[in-house]
Amino acid sequence: MSREQLKKELEARLDRSKMPTHIGIIMDGNGRWAKNLGKSRLKGHQQGARGIKAIIRYANAIGIKHVSLYAFSVENWSRPAFEVYALMKLLKTYLIQQRNELHEEGVVFRLVGRRDNLPAEIIKEAEISTKLMQNNTGLNLNLCFNYGGRAEIVDAVKKIVQSGISPDKITEETIRQNLYWPEIPDVDLMIRTSGEMRTSNFHLWRCAYSELYFTPVFWPDFDEAELLNAILAFQGRERRFGLTSAQLGSQES
């Protein structure tokens, strides 16, 4: 069976009434994919970047409203300098080359993460993309770059302290409103590729009740059919949010 045939078969099984609103993806395995093929890590990152285009287009087509991609963590600065430089260059190229096409497809773009130590040209290109697509009504692409879940919470707490809010007035909603982009909803489905089974400091606040899906597939090989497998797994789970199955049943009746 071809990948296209498999995709159509999986599509037929989708329950369109139970689609996740927000999917987070930890795009892992670029380096190992490249190593297995005798290629450089940079080639792996380049292939992974090309794969983003197909996944975003397809997620938009099937009605997913938010996709958060973990592209570069605050811990990734400790990688070899040449690899960090290559990832910065790759991001800039992506922002420039994909901007108009994403806009034509109705995508909304956000760069999520700390900006204080990012190159000025990346911030500039990200702001151009965000402004261009701000009034679109399609999928929200949240590109998490120089991002860390703990860092986001720390930065939110700093903003709250600086605003002078009394400690007894601080609620979960207060913290949510001070995250990098408060309009981004909680993550429903968190996907990690490459076989690793951890969340690696990604969207810690928004993933409190996420369904976790781990696949051995390396990110460069993660295609539309793999995304559908993850969504179908999500649809097969019961999300209770602290309630019992009986309580959920009574709410639905």
Catalytic residues: 28, 76
Q: Which amino acid is at 169?
A: K
Give the list of residues 6+ apart from residue 204 with CB closer than 8 angstroms, or none.
149, 150, 152, 153
Query: What are the two backbone dihedrals, phi and then psi, of residue 140, each rounded to the nearest 5 degrees?
Result: -95, 115
> How many whole angstroms separate alpha carbon 198 and alpha carbon 70?
13
Among 178, 184, 227, CA closest to 203 = 184
> How many whole angstroms separate alpha carbon 104 and alpha carbon 133?
9
User: To which residue do tokens 């679109």 refer?
Assistant: 136
Q: How far apart are the first and last CA of the chain?
A: 41
> How many whole angstroms separate alpha carbon 143 and alpha carbon 197?
21
How far CA 221 is from CA of 30, 167, 252, in Å, comes to 9, 48, 39
